[in-house]
């Protein structure tokens, strides 16, 4: 309730400011139109007349962008043409007038809605009590309508700004195509990096143990001392167990079958159980996310926990998973020494995985800690 009241108050201040600014904007637009009429058929003269008005339109539009950002929470791109700024001011003047009407209704509603309190406090003998009550109820109803009008005009302000100051449809398509091309290239690079990592894990881990296993078995076969051969076979058995553990670890890092069999929560709890430091998982999802989103969320947690244990020497790690407004949010925080490099191979690979789903990865790791890795993934 408090947030709603705060939002209404901020929108009311923004509309009041906008109503005052609309007077200047309408005068600017009308003056530009009047001066353009005599030179409408003369291109050079039209450009000469438009130049100062376009510069003024940009300054007024920048002031409007600041008002929208500060009071209405509307963010627009600064990359817009001056001619579009002039058109925006021409259209926004009508919204400014509408905002002034709404704010006048708010003032009237407040006056009627609080009249009964003043009457009861200041006047001892109020004979027509029913009229006071009816008038007050009517004022409160008018105030309710005015509040709805404030929110409605604020939404219209946002739509108008995005429509006239935002990128054109063609520009938006070109931007989206560029993003998809970059994310596709990033996915290919991430797959290649993953293959190289798997090759290193197999070569440096499993392969070395299998070589040692073969050497132990060979020495046991050539040994003529039964006791020595028995010791070598015991070492070979232990080496085979270690090789199986390493192979299972590599397979787990490639893709955990638990994610498909039991879901994201169990997979993250398994990561916590396998870590060498205490890991607390705070799971706030009511349903299971899509497979692609769940896979990326799992690898974000797995890689962040592995990096923290390997490089930061933490005493505890907290993993939090939740969703809000169609966005799945994953955060991994540790109390280690900090200083994590977001451009390192592990975190950079995670950033590319997240970007492939139009998500965002943020790493905050000041020297001395703590380190916070946050991923936001669209899941709607």
b/e string for 271-310 if b means 16 or more Cβ within 10 A?
bbeebebebebeeebeeebeeebbbbbbbbbbbbbebbbe
The rounded distance, in Å, linking the Cα atoms of 364 and 339 is: 9
pTM for the full model?
0.51
Task: Choose among 272, 379, 249: nearest CA to 319.
Answer: 272
pLDDT per residue rounded down to tens, the chain (380 residues): 677 778 888 888 888 898 888 888 888 888 888 887 887 777 787 788 788 888 888 899 899 989 988 888 888 877 778 888 888 888 888 888 888 888 887 777 666 656 555 555 455 444 555 655 565 666 667 777 778 888 888 899 888 888 888 777 676 677 777 777 776 666 666 666 667 777 777 777 777 878 887 887 888 888 778 888 888 888 888 888 887 877 776 666 666 777 778 888 888 888 888 888 898 999 988 888 888 888 888 888 888 888 888 888 888 999 999 888 788 999 999 888 888 776 665 677 778 788 878 888 888 888 887 888 999 988 75
């Amino acid at each position: 309730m408090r947030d709603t009241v705060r939002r209404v108050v901020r929108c009311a201040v923004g509309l009041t400011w906008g109503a005052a600014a609309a007077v200047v904007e309408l005068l600017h637009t009308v003056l530009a139109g009047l001066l353009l009429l005599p030179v409408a058929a003369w291109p050079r003269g039209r450009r000469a007349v438009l130049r100062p008005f376009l510069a003024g339109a940009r300054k007024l539009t920048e002031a409007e962008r600041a008002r929208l950002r500060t009071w209405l929470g509307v963010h627009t791109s600064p990359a817009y043409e001056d001619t579009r700024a002039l058109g925006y001011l021409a259209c926004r003047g009508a919204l400014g007038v509408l905002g002034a009407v709404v704010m006048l209704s708010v003032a009237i509603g407040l006056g009627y809605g609080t009249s009964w309190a003043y009457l009861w406090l200041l006047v001892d003998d109020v004979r027509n009590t029913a009229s006071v009550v009816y008038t007050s109820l009517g004022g409160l109803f008018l105030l309710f309508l005015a509040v709805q009008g404030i929110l409605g005009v604020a939404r219209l302000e946002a739509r108008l700004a995005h429509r006239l100051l935002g990128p054109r449809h063609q520009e938006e398509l070109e931007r989206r195509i560029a993003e998809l091309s970059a994310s596709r290239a990033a996915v290919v690079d991430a797959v290649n990096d993953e293959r190289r990592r798997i090759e290193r894990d197999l070569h440096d881990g499993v392969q070395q143990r299998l070589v040692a296993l073969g050497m132990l078995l060979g020495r046991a076969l050539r040994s003529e001392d039964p006791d020595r051969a028995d010791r070598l076979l015991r070492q070979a058995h232990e080496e085979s167990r270690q090789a199986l553990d390493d192979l299972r670890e590599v397979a787990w890092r490639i893709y955990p079958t638990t994610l498909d069999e039991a879901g994201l929560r169990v997979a993250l709890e398994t990561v916590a159980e396998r870590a060498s430091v205490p890991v607390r998982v705070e799971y706030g999802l009511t349903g299971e996310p899509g497979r692609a989103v769940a896979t990326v969320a799992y690898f974000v947690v797995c890689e962040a926990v592995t990096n923290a244990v390997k490089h930061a020497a933490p005493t505890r790690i907290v993993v939090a998973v939740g969703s809000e407004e169609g966005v799945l949010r994953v955060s991994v925080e540790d109390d280690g020494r900090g200083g994590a490099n977001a451009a390192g191979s592990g975190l950079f690979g995670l950033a590319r995985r997240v970007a492939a789903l139009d998500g965002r990865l943020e790493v905050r790791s000041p020297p001395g800690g703590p380190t916070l890795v946050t991923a936001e993934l669209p899941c709607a």
